[in-house]
Structure 1
Amino acid sequence: MLNKVWGKPDEEVRELADLETTRKLHEDLRVHVLEQIAEIEGLRQNAENSQNAIRLLETRLQEETAKHSNWDELSARVQVLEAENESLKDFVKTSASQEHQARKELREKHARDLAELNDKLEKSQGRVISVISKNKGLEAEAEAIDKLIFRSCSSDDLSCEDLVLGNF
């Protein structure tokens, strides 16, 4: 009778475990998003560093050109610096392409993970809602039983106190 009114003892523990699982899913999603943001920031910083390196090489080329008067030597250095510059530009293009691909993959992975976590959250919320509605039904049933017990004890010869205490 008590199980019918109050539910099984392990249901409350299971309900609490379900709520904790839902909370952990929220926290995992938040941590996952923060990790992805940090990874994207690292890729952006890498591209920015490459751009700065190109600017430094161009500045160095201009400084070297201003210092030396030997045209053959300058011409050779210019060619080396231009080759380095082209190499860095290619590297920046490749890095940008890789960064774009990595961002795209991260967005796709994030979308998949988010959808998966959202599904889990919806299932968990559904379980919580069903437990709440079941609990409300059991509470209403318990109130009805209480009303029946106390209404019937006021009309009988036995006092309500005797019924509750089991003194009949």
Structure 2
Amino acid sequence: MAHKLEKEPPKKYDYFAKPDGEDIPQKLWYTLQPAVAAALSLSTIDVMLMSKPKGYVNILMRYAYVSFPVIGCTAAFVLTSNFVGALRKESDRVNWAVGGAAAGGVVGIWSRKPSTGCLCAIAFGFLGALRKFAADNNIVINPTDSRAHFSLRSGGYDYTLAKEIPGKYTTGPSK
């Protein structure tokens, strides 16, 4: 009798498993993957629907103009929050607020407006501290077990408020 060798699914990386300042390359890689995907998607939308540049060089320049700030914000946040965490030897909301402020600074440099950079630094710093608070207190922000309401398979879902009772149920005695 032959045994089937079943592979275990690869373990999903947990960003919060190690404190800030540790495991920095893995944390950076984990966060850069969706950032690059989002940046390329936004760049494609910009090139095809809004700016419509002519020529390969102009298209690549537009991709860089839209993509690099998104990737830069992600890298600035991860590297700054982990650097501050390693420096302070603590893993708390302050690290994430400083990382968010660094990401807001990248937005200010990209927009070439100091006021935009300051406002984004304050907003991203607040959001970073809020996200760390949620992670520390087991508050779920993005549930993973939810079903998509509008997808290819959503037609098979039952969204009725009062489902039919199965069997030969009657509403009362027949006359």
Q: Above 0.5 in TM-score?
A: no
Q: How would you bin the TM-score normalised by the shorter chain? A: under 0.3
TM-score by structure 1 length? 0.27
Structure whose residues are more often helix by fraction: 1
Larger Rg: 1
Q: Higher relative contact order at CA 8 Å, sep ≥6: structure 1 or structure 2? A: 1
Q: Structure 2 length as normaliser, TM-score?
A: 0.26
